[in-house]
Amino acid sequence: MNNAAAPLNTDKLQTWLDYWSHVHVTGIDLGLERVIPVAEQLEIMRPSAKVITVAGTNGKGSTTTTLAAIFNAQGLNVGLYQSPHIYRFNERVKLAGQEVDDQALIDAFVQVDQARRICNLSLSFFEATTLAAFVIFKQKQCDVWVLEVGLGGRLDVVNVIDPDLAVITNIGLDHTDWLGDTIEKIAFEKAGIIRPNIPVVFGGLQTIPQAIQDKAQQSNAQLYAVNRDYFYQLSEDGQTWNFASSGTTLKFPVGRLALENISTAVAAVLLSGLAISQQAIVQGIERAQLAGRFEVRKIQDKTVIFDAGHNPHGVEFLLKQLRKFLEYNKQYTEVVSIFSMLSDKDIDSVVKLLKNTVLKWKIAPLTVPRAASMEQLQNALQYETVEQFDCIQAAFQSALAETNNNQLILVCGSFHTLEAVWEYLEECQ
């Protein structure tokens, strides 16, 4: 354990983030043994707020964003915790739809560090920063905490808080080194957020994994599953959709996020026990947006889609949205991808899914420790039209300069790929 002197509350946020990166011996250390005593010391384990915890392989960000937007539209004081961030760390912690400022985070970090020193325990970066978010939510007396699980569920630091409602978006193969190499093993980990006698929403368009069914039954938790207990259907004009459950049908606008995740959020809202009007649901759906989740932008008159899908399940979801987009925007006949990934992801499967859609690939290395090598990317793309660059920014510049009106640019493969492009765009302003 690193017991070096902590920064001061007058130091910069980045100083604190660097500090938390070195307190614990490893970056990922699943388990609640160290977290619980610190959380108890901080007196954050039993919030008076309504707590909704969201786990799942993909769609957590869109689901939590929609939930928070709906509760905010109702006028509730909402604390939203998400990870990872794409550009600023502050993106992870929001109050009433706004990122918290640096000083709020720093003050919370001071409290977390004092608590873990009293307990003589170290915390990983993710553990410390998550507990800091909870400290802020408690201090601000939030009515609702919407919490996105970081990794898995059962042993994730977010699970130190007992939820009043659990949401599992879907189950796919990702983080297999940590969570297991089968759907059922991963489902077991994610089902760990289920508590006795609470409602559980499962939004996956797949057979409900047995591990989730077993955990719900053992906990006497009522399981609500899409296409069994609630249903959604897009209208023919693509502008509205219907949500149906228990003999009631409600009509909502199509938002900017994936309908699969919006419908999961609506199901959770209706099961939350909170008095939420249909108008608030409509407003929340219309307002909810999330960077990097099939985000369409116009840049120098070119259409650019940013999507952070980084595993086969996420890319399947991306392709489903892309096909729908192309159906309504028939002027686009070709896709050029700015592409890079992390080395521990399933690069071959992701490329296999994308290759029938992407005409040309512009690849470059990421500047993070787990970045895939150019050799890894080239091997996965060996039969594709590929252009290699020294950095993502150069690849993106090339795409902007070369694409024509019938081509759209797809930036994908990793959150870090998107971050590199956004940093470039920020520098250009």
Among 397, 337, 390, CA closest to 362: 337
Sign of the alpha-carbon dihedral angle for 22, 26, 32, 34: negative
**pLDDT tens digits, 119-170:** 999 999 999 999 999 999 999 999 999 999 987 788 899 999 999 999 999 9
Please report the pLDDT score of residue 327 as a whole number. Answer: 86
Question: 2 vs 22, 107, 125, CA distance in Å?
Answer: 7, 20, 12
Q: Which amino acid is at 162?
A: D
Q: Could you say which residues of the chain have pLDDT below 70?
A: 1-3, 25-29, 174-178, 429
Amino acid identity, position 354: L
Query: What's the Cα-to-Cα distance from 279 to each of 72, 220, 275, 283, 410, rounded to whole Å?
Result: 12, 32, 12, 6, 34
Q: Give the pLDDT score at 49.
A: 97
Residue 134, φ and ψ in degrees, nearest 5: -65, -35
Per-residue pLDDT, 3? 66
User: Of 421, 368, 418, 419, which is closest to residue 394 (Cα–Cα)?
Assistant: 421
pLDDT attached to residue 119: 96
Q: What is the C-alpha radius of gyration for the chain, rounded to an integer number of angstroms? A: 21
The pLDDT of residue 344 is 87
Question: Residue 30 to residues 24, 82, 191, 354: CA-CA distances in angstroms?
Answer: 12, 18, 15, 32
Query: What per-residue confidence (pLDDT) applies to 47?
Result: 95
Q: What is the pLDDT of residues 277-294, one digit of tens each?
A: 999 999 999 999 888 888
pLDDT at 5 (0 to 100):
81
Distances from the Cα of 52 to the Cαs of 49, 124, 343, in angstroms? Answer: 10, 23, 33
Q: Is the peptide bond before 84 cis (omega within 30 degrees of 0)?
A: yes
H helix or E strand, kind and range, residue 341: none
Block residue for tokens 């959380």: 39
Instruction: Report the run of H or E that residue 232 belongs to, with start and end.
Output: strand 230-234
- Give the distance from CA 67 to its chain's centroid: 13
Alpha carbon separation from 329 to 105, 238, 240, 406 (Å, rounded): 43, 13, 18, 10
Element (H, E) at 46: none
Give the number of residues written for the chain.
Answer: 429
Angle, helix 210-218 to helix 183-190, in steps of 10 degrees: 30
Which domains does the chain show, CATH number per domain? 13-287 (3.40.1190.10), 295-428 (3.90.190.20)
What the block records as the tokens of 246 is 């228990």
CA proximity to 391, closest of 371, 409, 408, 376: 371
Distance from C-alpha of 86 to C-alpha of 196, rounded to nearest angstrom: 35
For residue 400, with 0-12 CB atoms within 10 Å meaning exposed, 13-18 middle and 19 or more buried, which class applies?
middle
